[in-house]
Chains A and B, each alone.
Chain A
Amino acid sequence: MRKDSTALAVVAGSAIALATAFSAFADDPKAPITVWVDANREPQAQAYKAAHPDVNITIDVVDPSQGSNTSKIALAVKAKSGIPDVVFLGTPDELATLSARPISFPMALNTVVPKATMDGFGTTLARCTYGGKVMCLGNDIGQTVFWYNKPQFAAWGYTPPKTFDEFKALGDKLAKEHPGYNLGTVNGRYGVDAFFGSSGCPVIDATSLADVRINTADPKCARVGEVIGPMIANGSLSTLDLFDKNYTTQVASGKVVGMIGASWVADYAFKPMTTNSGTDFDAKGKFAAAPMPTWSGESSNWSGAVGGGIWVVSNRASNVKAAVDFAVGMTTSPDIAKTQATYPAYGPSADIWLKAKAVDSWYAADPSSVLKDAGSKINPADGYVRYQTQALDAFNQTVIANGATDMTGSLKAWGDQLLQAAQSAGYTVTQ
């Protein structure tokens, strides 16, 4: 054991590649594998286990909240025992910490997963890739679209905005004509990932495990500020978290008439929050998906990504085939696609999943084509970084706290904190 770790430490840059090669040689097709999943994915994992009686699988149900899996894996790596073979990460930015030293956990999957399968994941692989090595497989994605209350829009004579300038104009109009109503929220990840992320503002733009691009003075950031600043000021955008009780009450009473939101927002926010909510409002049959508006100066209507889990295979796995098969099975199985809660990252699975959405009468219109289109347009500027939580925290402390009064100053303050957070996490920062 000790020998391995010394070897790993010596060949710094290529440690991961070496370990992969090493475990590929040491592959033991009979060795048991341990997988860590959250409670949501336990039934699927159990089903996989039942369908593969020849593989000895231990399923541990673990906490998917931020930092939990990273710290547990870091401890296991340090103790050199108890390292899981496959892990589901509900907060995928942890991949950046797991990939870096001293943990160096993930196995590069592009060498062990057939290319045809890899291709099915399409553009979602971009975030999993560091230096040409694919370190994860997407489980689901939270591509953003414009959700809106179709009958309400019709009644007020509004149309879904095609551009963000129209979005801002719509906000002005809404604030004037129907004060108290809003077009969604920009708190934390709902602002950073959906707005700044779709615009391609470089804040978590990791180019490698050690390099990141941060520049909140970039025009791609400024244009976001010019839209959301006035909208926060006139109340047409909220600064509360989507699940803040002070906001869910607004959703429940129909005050939220539109939102730049992830693919899961309709099913897991609007629907439960407005069903039997004790108000006259029920969103059933009301919400529809419109394509993302286009940022000024862009030719494509990029999408952001809010949420989405990933699967990671350990480079210490001794039964590589079983471990990789499990990760591939969990992401590509058609059966799982049918029961999956959120939009699958694997293209063919997404098509199966969308079939159910297409006939779901809860929606005001079939959202499938809009969701599918957005799924292929996630702006590649965002990546997984080791300072993700600080980036969101700093955003709330600066832009959310003061954005309505001094957007330029707030963006600069945010950038200053991002710079420090990134440097503290060991990144070389370029503009």
Chain B
Amino acid sequence: MRTDKIVGPAARNLLFVLAILFFGLPIVWLLLAPTKTTNGLQYMPPMAFGSFQQLGISASNLFGYDNGIIWTWALNSVWYTALSLAVSLSVAVPAGYALAKLPFKGSNVVLFVTLLTMIVPSAALILPLYLEMSAFNLTNTPWSVILPLTFHPFGVYLIYLYAKASVPDSIIEAARLDGCSEFGIMMRIFVPLAWPAIAMVAFFGFVGAWNAFFLPFIMLNDQSLATLQTGLQILVSSTGAISGGNPSSVPIHAPEVALAAIVSILPILMVFLFAQRYLVAGQTAGAEKG
């Protein structure tokens, strides 16, 4: 009713249609790409469907490469991500909550430093992180990837912002007067209220870890430890599938890369749809309690 007065439903839906066209076009192209040959991508209409037969060829080339090592990479991605996400969430939620609701001397410093670490150019961190991991003999092990990923400043900030803006102090004060422990307040009062923010942080943490490239790329040499992102990058740059100029007889070309892209974003999309339910669920919870 409110905004409808100026931006009617028709105008709003038109806006959404335009957005879907703009953001969706590359994705539809990507979905269609594995059904064509490398040359087909060139001579067929960009939005045409190739053939299921070609899709099968792309799939057997990609999944058959090196006895299906892509599944090893996918599995690595899954467990590196799951473990680092579990730790980063259990670190970020209390931190974001306390920085907003239990401020202490120096909490603003922690916040500012957190912000700073988010804007340090990552190239400056390659060497130090590598030396750090090497000092503990962790390079070329999964831990060299998992441990640094547990640091998720973006998540801390989102929790902080949400706690500041959307969770009234009065509720926490009331619980405190009821004799709740500080930890109990967080678990029983804050966490249920902050589901939308936690879901969002979990989602972004998931994407950050899943799509992490430079970290595993630097740390890992053993191909059986590679993640989906690094494994594919090494494969693609070996075969010149995208930029050409690297003569190769390995059958990984543009259609296979497109299929690999679909495989690697599918988990993200599934997690997004899952997390989106909590965004909506949070809305009703907020309405009831707010």
Do A and B touch each other in the complex, judged by CB within 8 A? yes
Interface residues of chain A, those whose CB is within 8 Å of chain B, are 34, 36, 38-40, 42, 58, 60-65, 68, 71-72, 75, 78-79, 81-82, 84, 90, 241-243, 245, 248-249, 252, 264, 267-269, 272-273, 275-279, 307, 339, 341-342
Chain A: CB-nearest residue to B66:
A42
A78-B222 Cα distance, complex, nearest whole Å = 19
The total number of A-B Cβ pairs within 8 Å is 113
Decide: A277 and B42 in contact? CB cutoff 8 A.
yes
Q: Which residues of A contact B218 (CB under 8 A)?
A: 71-72, 75
Interface range on chain B (Cβ under 8 Å from partner)? 35 or more
Q: Which residues of A contact B243 (CB under 8 A)?
A: 243
Chain B: CB-nearest residue to A91:
B246
A63-B221 Cα distance, complex, nearest whole Å = 10
A81-B43 Cα distance, complex, nearest whole Å = 49
A sample of 19 more A-B contacts (CB under 8 A), given A60-B221, A75-B134, is A39-B66, A40-B239, A40-B249, A40-B250, A42-B66, A58-B222, A61-B223, A63-B233, A63-B234, A75-B130, A75-B218, A82-B140, A243-B244, A245-B42, A252-B42, A278-B44, A279-B43, A307-B245, A342-B247
Q: List 13 A-B contacts (CB under 8 A).
A: A40-B247, A40-B248, A72-B218, A79-B131, A82-B221, A242-B244, A243-B240, A243-B244, A248-B244, A249-B42, A272-B39, A278-B40, A307-B247
Query: Restricting to B228-267, which residues have a CB under 8 Å from any CB of A?
Result: 233-235, 237-240, 243-250, 252
Q: Using A60-B223, A82-B221, A278-B39 as known contacts, say yes or no to A75 and B246 having CB atoms under 8 A apart.
A: no
Q: A42, A64, A278: which contacts B42 (Cβ < 8 A)? A: A278
Decide: B37 and A276 in contact? CB cutoff 8 A.
yes
Decide: B237 and A64 in contact? CB cutoff 8 A.
yes
Interface residues of chain B, those whose CB is within 8 Å of chain A, are 37-40, 42-44, 66, 126-127, 130-131, 134-135, 137, 139-140, 217-218, 221-223, 233-235, 237-240, 243-250, 252
A81-B40 Cα distance, complex, nearest whole Å = 46
A78-B128 Cα distance, complex, nearest whole Å = 10
Among A39, A61, A62, find the residue whose CB has the most chain B CB atoms closer than 10 A: A39
Q: Which residues of A contact B247 (CB under 8 A)?
A: 40, 264, 267-268, 307, 341-342
Least CB distance from B180 to A in Å reads: 49
A72-B126 Cα distance, complex, nearest whole Å = 10
Chain B: CB-nearest residue to A272:
B38
A340-B197 Cα distance, complex, nearest whole Å = 55
Q: Which residues of A contact B140 (CB under 8 A)?
A: 82
A79-B139 Cα distance, complex, nearest whole Å = 10
Chain A: CB-nearest residue to B245:
A243
Decide: B42 and A248 in contact? CB cutoff 8 A.
yes
Q: Which residues of A contact B137 (CB under 8 A)?
A: 81
A81-B135 Cα distance, complex, nearest whole Å = 9
A384-B137 Cα distance, complex, nearest whole Å = 34
Q: Which residues of B contact A249 (CB under 8 A)?
A: 42-43
Least CB distance from B41 to A in Å reads: 9
Q: A64, A71, A248, A273: which contacts B246 (Cβ < 8 A)? A: A64
Q: Which residues of B contact A273 (CB under 8 A)?
A: 39
Decide: B238 and A64 in contact? CB cutoff 8 A.
yes
Decide: B39 and A252 in contact? CB cutoff 8 A.
yes
Chain A: CB-nearest residue to B129:
A75
Decide: A39 and B239 in contact? CB cutoff 8 A.
yes
Q: Which residues of A contact B237 (CB under 8 A)?
A: 38, 63-65, 68
A273-B43 Cα distance, complex, nearest whole Å = 11
Least CB distance from B94 to A in Å reads: 34
Q: Which residues of B contact A68 (CB under 8 A)?
A: 237
Q: Which residues of A contact B135 (CB under 8 A)?
A: 79
A341-B246 Cα distance, complex, nearest whole Å = 10
Among B40, B223, B247, find the residue whose CB has the most chain A CB atoms closer than 10 A: B247
Q: Using A40-B248, A268-B247 as known contacts, say yes or no to A252 and B221 having CB atoms under 8 A apart.
A: no
Q: Which residues of B contact A78 (CB under 8 A)?
A: 127, 130-131
Q: Which residues of B contact A42 (CB under 8 A)?
A: 66
Among A60, A72, A84, A245, find the residue whose CB has the most chain B CB atoms closer than 10 A: A60
Q: Using A39-B250, A242-B244, A264-B247 as known contacts, say yes or no to A62 and B131 having CB atoms under 8 A apart.
A: no
Q: A38, A40, A62, A75: which contacts B126 (Cβ < 8 A)? A: A75
Decide: B38 and A81 in contact? CB cutoff 8 A.
no
Chain B: CB-nearest residue to A42:
B66
A273-B250 Cα distance, complex, nearest whole Å = 16
A81-B141 Cα distance, complex, nearest whole Å = 13
Decide: B234 and A278 in contact? CB cutoff 8 A.
no
Decide: A61 and B131 in contact? CB cutoff 8 A.
no
Least CB distance from B284 to A in Å reads: 48
Pairs of residues from A and B, 10 with the lowest C-beta to C-beta distance, nearest first: A243-B244, A278-B43, A39-B238, A79-B134, A268-B247, A38-B238, A60-B221, A65-B237, A277-B39, A61-B223
Least CB distance from B72 to A in Å reads: 12
Q: Using A36-B221, A61-B234, A342-B247 as known contacts, say yes or no to A81 and B39 having CB atoms under 8 A apart.
A: no
Least CB distance from A79 to B in Å reads: 4
A36-B221 Cα distance, complex, nearest whole Å = 8
Q: A62, A82, A339: which contacts B139 (Cβ < 8 A)? A: A82
Q: Using A78-B131, A81-B139 as known contacts, say yes or no to A275 and B234 having CB atoms under 8 A apart.
A: no
Q: Which residues of B contact A75 (CB under 8 A)?
A: 126-127, 130-131, 134, 218
Q: Which residues of A contact B235 (CB under 8 A)?
A: 39
A342-B252 Cα distance, complex, nearest whole Å = 17
Least CB distance from A46 to B in Å reads: 10
A68-B130 Cα distance, complex, nearest whole Å = 15
Chain A: CB-nearest residue to B223:
A61
A58-B221 Cα distance, complex, nearest whole Å = 10
Q: Which residues of B contact A341 (CB under 8 A)?
A: 247-249
A267-B248 Cα distance, complex, nearest whole Å = 10
A146-B42 Cα distance, complex, nearest whole Å = 26
